Structure 1
Amino acid sequence: MAISKRLNDQINYSNRKKSGSDFQNKDLRRSNCFSSDFSNSNFNHASFRGAQFKSCNFSECSFESTEFIATNLKNSRFKKSKFENTIFHSAKIEGVDFEEAEFKNVIFVSTDISKAVNLDLSNEEIKVFDKMPELEISEDLKIAVKTAMKNEYIKFARVLDTKDGAISSISMMILLETFDEETLIKGLDLLKRKIDKNFGTLSYLIEELKLYKNDGLI
């Protein structure tokens, strides 16, 4: 199976006012924005993989199941924004202001948080890992993950593996919090056969797996 065309959600703004915009489900990978106003916008289920959003205003935005993977957010502001099931992985957050931001099940991994502003690390809803955590999974689950990644859309999305091609322990941790291993193994096989569209975040696969489960397929 080959991807004929990749949908391009990439944006490139400088000193633009884009407040109140809807970026839900957008794949914003490699976007390049500087000093732009995205306040009161919806970024739920959006991917910021490899993107540059420096000195931007994200005040009162929504980031549910959003992924900041290798994202440069230097000096951006997230005042009163809401983060839920959000991942910051190898992100640059120097000077980033989280004043009055709300967090629910948010993960920071391989991200230097020492120069972030107003980030309350005593919040139990925030988990910080200096590096990718180790997670032991069964051989059957490893095979299921590698099989699923043979699907070109899943492979391109890079939500199940790391940059060096290893299985992402963070993704496995999240998936195993939602599904038991047997269900997940069966579901990954279905994903390999059924996913036929572009997507950018792990949350997309989770929603698909929930649909399969509700339909009695897994």
Structure 2
Amino acid sequence: MTVSGSYGLTDRLDVSAAIPLVSLSLEGARTDTYRGVQFQQAAATASVTRLADVLVRGKYNVAGGGWGGLSIGGDLRLPTGPEDDLVGAGTTGVRGFAVMSAGTGPASVHLTAGLSRGGISSGVDFGGALALNPTHTLTLAAELFGRRLSDVGRVRQAVAPHPQIEGVQTLRLVQEEGSLTETLAAFGFKVNVAGTWMVSGTVMLPVNQAGLTARLMPSFSLEYNF
């Protein structure tokens, strides 16, 4: 669950903040195979509900007109979530980005690009979206976006013969340095239900199999504008 809000300081400049509350559950087991017979060596479960890293954002509209608009902005991600509970990066992260929108009538196109430093990893991100307005109260959107993290590394299994016992294979988890490129697709809607109340929903799907990514990531939000 994320509580967020934004405020327009001027006609061109606005600031916003997002405060996420994350609930995480993990379970796992280690199984050893000895001479064709499997033995469970260990099993564990864990769950936590904590405040994650808070995001503060500023965005400035550089140019705008009938053709669309161009904005630049910056994010500051504060290390408010505990790193040991896997809900925080442990260090402050910053990101600069640019957003360009173009279109007339019921259709518009949006492009984004960003550069990040600190946090869990430095990297770059990119995205493109198509938005349609079939009615004055409904917006439909499809988006493709991704990010490349330069120093996240990965963990792999390494199997080797036991140095003293014949016929026994040992299994180790080995950390490797490297980068990661994650690409996701999203489909969503936003509807004006009454007055300035908005309800929106989004479903995200992984395009590639990079990192730990769920097969389906739905989200819903309720917004009030004043």
Larger radius of gyration: 2
TM value normalised by structure 2:
0.26
TM value normalised by structure 1:
0.27
Structure with the bigger RCO (C-alpha within 8 Å, sep 6+) is: 1
